[in-house]
Amino acid sequence: MIAELGLAALWLAAALAALQLVSGALGLTPKGAALAGIVRPVAVVQGLLALTAFICLIYVFAVTDLSVKLVAMNSHSMKPLVFKIAGAWGNHEGSMLLWVTVMGMAGGVVALIERRLPERTMLATLAGQAFVSIGFYAFLLIASNPFERLSPTPVEGNGLNPLLQDLGLAFHPPTLYLGYVGLSVAFSFAIGALVTREVGPAFARAMRPWVLAAWIFLTAGIAAGSYWAYYELGWGGWWFWDPVENASLMPWLAATALLHSVSVLAARNALRAWTIMLGVVAFSMSMVGTFLVRSGILTSVHAFAVDPERGSFILVLLAIYIGGALTLFALRAGTVTEGERFALVSREGALVFNNVMLSAILGIVLFGTLYPLVAEAMGAKVSVGPPYFNPMGALFVVPMLVVLAVGPLLRWRNDRFGRVGGRLVIPAMLVAAGAMALLVMGGVSLLPFLGLVLAVGLAWASLLPLRERKLRRTPLAVWGMVMAHFGVAVSLFGMSSESAFSIEKLVAVNAGDTTEVGPWLVRLDGVEPVAGPNWTALEAQLKVRYKDADPVMVRPQSRSFWTPPQQTSESALLTRWNGQLYAVLGGEGEDGRWQLRLWWKPFVTLIWIGGLLIAFGGVLALIGRVKSDLRRIIARDRTADRRESQGR
């Protein structure tokens, strides 16, 4: 019953999306102007219907209604409730339903609150949002119905992949989806502006909160995903340049560029066409990412939902939306002027430089991810991995970081290096000192070396915009920028330190043996069996000691899940201020000794702390922007009221 309710809600939502598209498009013509009034309410109701369908799906998963095929395939009555619920979106159909739900809700919120833009641009925007939604509704209803029934009802479900039964992963995909789909709003705004040719600061201010919000979710989602891979896969790696990781990185790169160019548009009325272009590209990258993940076209550790037929459906959608948007852009870009001019040495100049760098990195990631497909089509299998992406990316990341240190100090429009040079003496000295220290120490390869010294310089330089400001009167958006840029330095330091200073130790030990890894002494007290709700495990009792500190117990496990039967290793992490001890229990050898894999990873946690700082900087900026927008709206309303009362 609930499943049918969900399905009905989904069909209704699709129908309303069609109505929204038609009435929005007709509303732009003189004859159809009467239809314009219904577009906003329709958008709101469409969002609510999609949400209803999603809630129905969560319900059938929560009660484990095994007569629903999707539940039977992906869930199990013995699973903890939180993973039953998370299981609703831990599969192909559910995740696509989550996609349209977020998209519908976002459209509804835009319809409800956005009043700054000319009504015609709003109509075109909402029609654009509906146009994209329809494709995904069709995809759900035709090719991946989440509410399909199963007869006869099975006695028990198939269970969820144990790797996914983890709190971090339960909330990592929805976070990323919020980011992906949030960019659809930027895409629709770009379409709307292209249709009506109204591009300017007001447009940028309307678009900016959406870009910021999407970017925050993407940042947090990528950081969470990376940490999950780090502790769950059990080998201490945190980024593999795996196609699925790249799929989330590409929209992030585009969104980062868009975020900065939309700020230039809002503040200076420059970079108009470029901002529109990035709006189109950012969501296109989200769709490309979804296509790569959902079609399973690229072999990858993450491709849990492999289905080439659905892949071709998404490929058609991709062609329609990306092709359509780019065609519209090509037709209209000539009539959208670039806007205000500025010099190379200026705030805008630095932002443009880094926009170009980000786009180039995006180009390399996209090309490197897709090239194995091209090669395969030509009859040869190649792999493109870290040895390619790291140096090629660094080619653009290094100049970008240098400009990132200088840019925020420059004035808008036109400036001289001489004016800001004095303030950069200390960061430059830090870089030199760091380089010297590392050279004396020796043994650090080029990329981590560059990463470490640049991180130190950037950390200092990123705080400089706060100098000569009254801290209490500094706008939140500036705090946000400083925090995010500081986060980049922190994260970079963590990455480089992990890569330069990690110590690995693989040993086979008997109970009672002690081994050494970096500054730690590790003693195996014994291996014991333990049981969880749907797994049993062997657990190593490790007594570890950092230098002369008191010993601490850590307990890595080797888990066996029953449904589906699968083994995972649960690594044990011990965090200290200066790094993490990472312990994994391997198999038992024939001689009765246990395999242990141990790592000491100095400052590795900074990778994710930096990621959170970046996301939190985004949150501060978002609060600041929304607050000042509200203030502006209230002020405008007051003047309008005053005029009205004076007029009487």
Partner 1 sequence: MSRLIVMLLAAIGLFCAVPSLAQEEQSTAPYAYRQLDDPAKEQQAQDLMETLRCLQCQGQSIADSDAPIAGSMRSLVRERIASGERPEEIRAWLIERYGDYVSYAPQLTSLTWPLFAVPLALVLLAFLLLRRRFRRGGDR
Considering only CA atoms, which of 256, 271, 253 is closest in space to residue 211? 256
Nearest approach, Cβ of residue 505 and partner 1 (Å): 7
Token pair for 383 = 């792999």
x/- track of binding to partner 1 for residues 541-560 (CB under 8 A): -----------------x-x
CA distances from 56 to 46, 164, 167, 607 (A): 16, 22, 22, 38
531 binds partner 1 (CB under 8 A): yes
Return the residue of 215, 228, 535, 608 that touches partner 1, per CB under 8 A.
535
Q: How many other CB atoms are found less than 10 A from the CB of residue 471?
A: 8
The residues, any chain, with a CB within 8 Å of residue 94's CB and separated by 6 or more, are 57, 61, 70, 74, 87, 88, 146
Q: Which amino acid is at 539?
A: E
x/- track of binding to partner 1 for residues 19-48 (CB under 8 A): ------------------------------
Q: Which of residues 574-633 bind partner 1 (CB under 8 A)?
A: 586-588, 595, 597
Q: Which of residues 312-331 bind partner 1 (CB under 8 A)?
A: none
Nearest approach, Cβ of residue 548 and partner 1 (Å): 24
Return the residue of 89, 99, 231, 342 that touches partner 1, per CB under 8 A.
342
Return the residue of 47, 90, 157, 243 that touches partner 1, per CB under 8 A.
243
Return the residue of 29, 327, 510, 567 that touches partner 1, per CB under 8 A.
567
| Closer Cβ to partner 1, 317 or 397, answer by number | 397
Judged by CB under 8 A, the stretch of 43-51, 338-346, 487-495, 611-619 that binds partner 1 is 338-346
Considering only CA atoms, which of 137, 123, 186 is closest in space to residue 325? 186
Distance of CA 287 to the CA centre of its chain: 13
CA–CA distance, 349 with 355 (Å, rounded to integer)? 10
Contact 621, 476 (CB under 8 A): yes
Return the residue of 65, 114, 232, 242 that touches partner 1, per CB under 8 A.
242
CA–CA distance, 329 with 325 (Å, rounded to integer)? 6
x/- track of binding to partner 1 for residues 219-238 (CB under 8 A): --------------xxx-x-
Judged by CB under 8 A, the stretch of 17-25, 60-68, 324-332, 528-536 that binds partner 1 is 528-536
| Closer Cβ to partner 1, 56 or 360, answer by number | 360
Judged by CB under 8 A, the stretch of 105-113, 252-260, 529-537, 548-556 that binds partner 1 is 529-537
343 binds partner 1 (CB under 8 A): yes
| Closer Cβ to partner 1, 67 or 269, answer by number | 269
| Closer Cβ to partner 1, 419 or 469, answer by number | 419
Nearest approach, Cβ of residue 406 and partner 1 (Å): 15
Distance of CA 230 to the CA centre of its chain: 17
Q: What's phi and psi for 40, nearest 5 deg?
A: -65, -50
| Closer Cβ to partner 1, 113 or 531, answer by number | 531
Q: Which of residues 273-312 bind partner 1 (CB under 8 A)?
A: 299-303
Q: Which of residues 366-405 bind partner 1 (CB under 8 A)?
A: 367-368, 371, 374-375, 378, 380-388, 392, 395-396
Q: For helices 92-113 and 2-27, what crossing angle results, to 10°?
A: 40
| Closer Cβ to partner 1, 383 or 514, answer by number | 383
* Dihedral sign (CA 603, 605, 611, 613): negative
In the 8-state DSSP scheme, what is residue 424? G
Distance of CA 431 to the CA centre of its chain: 30
Contact 306, 232 (CB under 8 A): no
| Closer Cβ to partner 1, 11 or 371, answer by number | 371
* Dihedral sign (CA 255, 260, 265, 267): positive
Give the number of residues in contact with partner 1, rule: CB under 8 A: 66
3-state secondary structure 270-301: ECHHHHHHHHHHHHHHHHHHHHHHHHCCCCCC
| Closer Cβ to partner 1, 140 or 303, answer by number | 303
341 binds partner 1 (CB under 8 A): yes
Secondary structure (DSSP) of 119-188: HHHHHHHHHHHHHHHHHHHHIIIII--TT-B-SSPPSS-----GGG-SHHHHHHHHHHHHHHHHHHHHHH
Q: Which of residues 78-117 bind partner 1 (CB under 8 A)?
A: none
Contact 269, 341 (CB under 8 A): no
Return the residue of 112, 426, 530, 634 that touches partner 1, per CB under 8 A.
530
Return the residue of 26, 109, 326, 508 that touches partner 1, per CB under 8 A.
508
Binding positions for partner 1, rule: CB under 8 A? 233-235, 237, 240, 242-243, 299-303, 341-344, 349, 352-353, 356-357, 359-360, 363-364, 367-368, 371, 374-375, 378, 380-388, 392, 395-396, 414, 504-506, 508, 529-531, 535-538, 558, 560, 562, 565, 567, 569, 586-588, 595, 597
